[in-house]
Chains A and B, each alone.
Chain A
């Protein structure tokens, strides 16, 4: 690993020339971090810069016809998803953290399951189940003897339907962060509330909930960002939002500039969300002031409260995961023999290949950035790392457009120059290649790997480095004997997370993939768009099953996150 020798002040063993050694501490790593940040932020800057490009006819056409609808639909989507994720996420988190009722231990991890279900998969599954010819309406007609058109049935292919389904798969973000916050609350703080004459309910409302508010806000911000960038579900249900608009403007109207301008508006929504999230945690300090922890005394629920709690936890799990996953499994059993052919295997190989490549690269780059911040701690290196991590907030279609524009420009420039100079046409070198897609994945998912790698590296304190070196371990040996074993788990987790996200990614893949290059997500979406739902099921099910892996990792981490609890039992360094 080339990182090894440079990782510690560039000093090697044995007496060395002093002036050379001193200069090695500056420069290199900071420059590297800034270079990565610059490259990774190109797509974002391109989209933002598009605001200054003169508008086209297509743009004024968009403003006249669809822009209003995009804005209203997007706002309704955000409002609906906020309410649903808040109720389902924070509510269930409080129930499983603070109350005792049958099944609580199962619900604790099962409530995360819908995280494995991509929104486009749940959309077309429900679309199929709730259709006129689907199993639900057929069963109703059979039971009640209704005829076609003689009864009212809610239309799932609508804005409320999309909101409902997105709420079902996005509430785990709020659940996850709210539960962590509830678990970290010192029981002392809660008991002080009790001794000051507050009842359990008022203690929750006046102390526990406000303390958890930043976490809940952060979870909702994450869920809303996912909702904003969702493409497959809204496209399938023909609900026009910004993401579908960007896609259609580029794909249907072929106007990249107008698409970029739509993308810039979408990014305003994102920046507003980020700002709200910042402000919500800004003023008060939410550090835990006490370090004493005892197991929380739970409220033992009985009677109707017990039944209600069980239902409140079971319904999201059933509707958000068990039912759609079951339907996908049934369809898969039906169609797998026909679908699992050489083409499916090739697409699976494509998916695994490009996701694995994205995972390895994202983890490698994150490692470089994290070490840059560790070795040359300065404002510049830190800023570089933060900018490089910005892509996660940017929706897939926006990044796709931001990648497309500079790549196409470069290709044209190179092609034109080659033709003028050598009379040879190079055609597309960057755009429309796997490289463009890989770049988009890294821009989008670098933040995930960066966070995980940084927290892993944070466990290796500077004093451990110093202790190792004073015990005779050279920089390379310190990296191998101390850093590698302590960080390995985090690197694997980071890789796994990026892998799963890249595998599920749909809109950027649709826009940027090379001709005739299909992933499982694209295949599932295309088949579903043709209403070949049962045929789409095996690919979707494969994505869901792989997506379960990080959910299991998360649920393990969650049960161990309570300070002072389970530490003696847990394995060291994990």
Chain B
């Protein structure tokens, strides 16, 4: 049993490839987050899955049924997919109950009422059944949009930035509740977002896109700990970048030698340092492990501190991350060493 399958799906507009050979599978009950900067093609991919666009080439299937390939195309109304938009797109001329009922008009009235009542109850909307959309808060409208999409019992749920219209305090809670429900119903969920925190928090798997291609997909931990290039590394945290050449299986930097066991000598390379890979030892002087550096500034961010520093003999600035309240004062001299985790070397 499969949920949503995209195989080598491509679509271009005016010669520009918005989606380029996309391979993506979402299993029933799984949540996949499509992540990327604006214009990377993630919304086009979602629309291809929904049938709002047709593919130039490749294959789209839902369950065991082919939806779009070289021969045939199933229009959106016959695909049984749920769609939730950033702007919710509720029908303003219908009340909450009629909105939720919209997609199940072919069912007998008794079944209709049961489905709607059940969904409104689950979504905590029972009290608003006869309210019109514009009288509801953002969170309530979001829940109506979800209930409306869920009413026909879709196998696949497609969501385009579904939580970014919400107040940030609501966002995490509504997102987690929504996806818990979808997992429980066994719906294959593909969700588009530009927010890496949201993707890591909510997705079982993450597909990172750029220029119409999927650069990397895997679990959030895969993408964070084993990024395939500088772009991917940069997408999940602030990083410090250093350029250099590989010599003897390592790259020489201001902060010392960084191991690059897989790269040939003479290769130009970029070193990416996540803030947590910089290990600081307080108190300057000889003997201590690492390179001497001066603290430029430090700031507490709540659960952690961010520290900017500059090697005593260097020019570039580096960002380090420490436990809350443990950062040295600006001007202090520290020893900096590089930890293996959070440090990546990519050939240019």
Query: Interface on A for B, CB 8 Å cutoff?
Result: 11-16, 18, 21-22, 459, 461, 463-464, 466-474, 481-482, 485-486, 567-568, 572-573
Contacts and interface: CB of A to CB of B under 8 A. Distances in A.
Nearest to A468: B102
The DSSP consensus for interface residues of chain B is: loop
A469 B95 CA distance: 19
Contacts of B79: 470
A461 B87 CA distance: 10
Contacts of A16: 72-73, 75
Interface in B139-176: 145, 148-149, 151-152, 158
B89 A466 contact: yes
B102 A474 contact: no
A471 B72 contact: no
A463 B71 contact: no
Contact of B89 (A18, A464, A485, A486): A464
Contacts of A18: 54, 70-73
A20 B221 CA distance: 45
A72 B315 CA distance: 77
B83 A467 contact: yes
A66 to B, nearest CB: 57
B77 interface: yes
B91 A464 contact: yes
A567 B92 CA distance: 12
B50 A466 contact: yes
Nearest to A481: B102
18 contacts: A11-B75, A15-B73, A16-B75, A18-B71, A459-B92, A463-B87, A464-B89, A467-B89, A467-B145, A469-B51, A469-B75, A470-B52, A471-B102, A471-B103, A473-B102, A572-B95, A572-B134, A573-B92
Contacts of B236: none
B76 A15 contact: no
A568 B135 contact: yes
A21 B55 CA distance: 12
Most chain B beta carbons < 10 A, residue from A464, A471, A485, A568: A471
Given A467-B83, A470-B82, A470-B149, A572 B73 contact: no
Most chain A beta carbons < 10 A, residue from B51, B91, B132, B134: B91
B81 interface: yes
Given A14-B75, A486-B92, A572-B95, 4 more contacts: A16-B73, A466-B89, A469-B52, A472-B80
Contacts of B87: 461, 463
A444 B13 CA distance: 39
B77 A469 contact: yes
B132 to A, nearest CB: 4
Contacts of B54: 18, 21-22
Contact of A474 (B52, B77, B145, B152): B77
Given A13-B77, A470-B77, A472-B152, A572 B93 contact: yes
Contact of B148 (A15, A467, A474, A572): A467
A470 B50 CA distance: 7
B85 interface: yes
B78 interface: yes
B133 interface: yes
B74 interface: yes
A45 B241 CA distance: 65
A379 to B, nearest CB: 14
A239 to B, nearest CB: 50
Nearest to B151: A471
B94 to A, nearest CB: 8
B1 to A, nearest CB: 22
Contacts of A470: 50-52, 76-77, 79, 81-83, 103, 149, 158
Contacts of B50: 466, 470
Nearest to B145: A467
Contacts of A463: 85, 87, 89
A474 B79 CA distance: 12
Contact of B93 (A13, A466, A485): A485
A567 B134 CA distance: 8
A228 B89 CA distance: 45
A572 B132 contact: yes
A463 B92 CA distance: 13
A567 B136 CA distance: 12
Contacts of B70: 18
A276 to B, nearest CB: 38
Nearest to A16: B73
Most chain B beta carbons < 10 A, residue from A13, A470, A485, A567: A470
A18 B66 CA distance: 14
B263 to A, nearest CB: 46
Given A471-B152, A473-B77, A572-B133, A466 B92 contact: no
Contacts of B158: 470
B259 to A, nearest CB: 50
A271 to B, nearest CB: 35
A463 B106 CA distance: 22
A572 B92 contact: yes
Contacts of B91: 464, 467-468, 482, 486
Contact of B78 (A14, A485, A486, A567): A14
A469 B133 contact: no
A568 B134 CA distance: 7
Most chain A beta carbons < 10 A, residue from B72, B151, B158: B72
A464 B83 CA distance: 10
Given A13-B78, A568-B135, A572-B134, A466 B103 contact: no
A486 B93 CA distance: 6
Given A16-B72, A21-B54, A572-B133, A467 B85 contact: yes
Contacts of A469: 51-52, 75-77
B85 A466 contact: yes
Interface string B56-74: 0000000000000011111
A224 B106 CA distance: 56
Nearest to A469: B76
B82 A461 contact: no
Interface in B250-288: none
A70 to B, nearest CB: 51
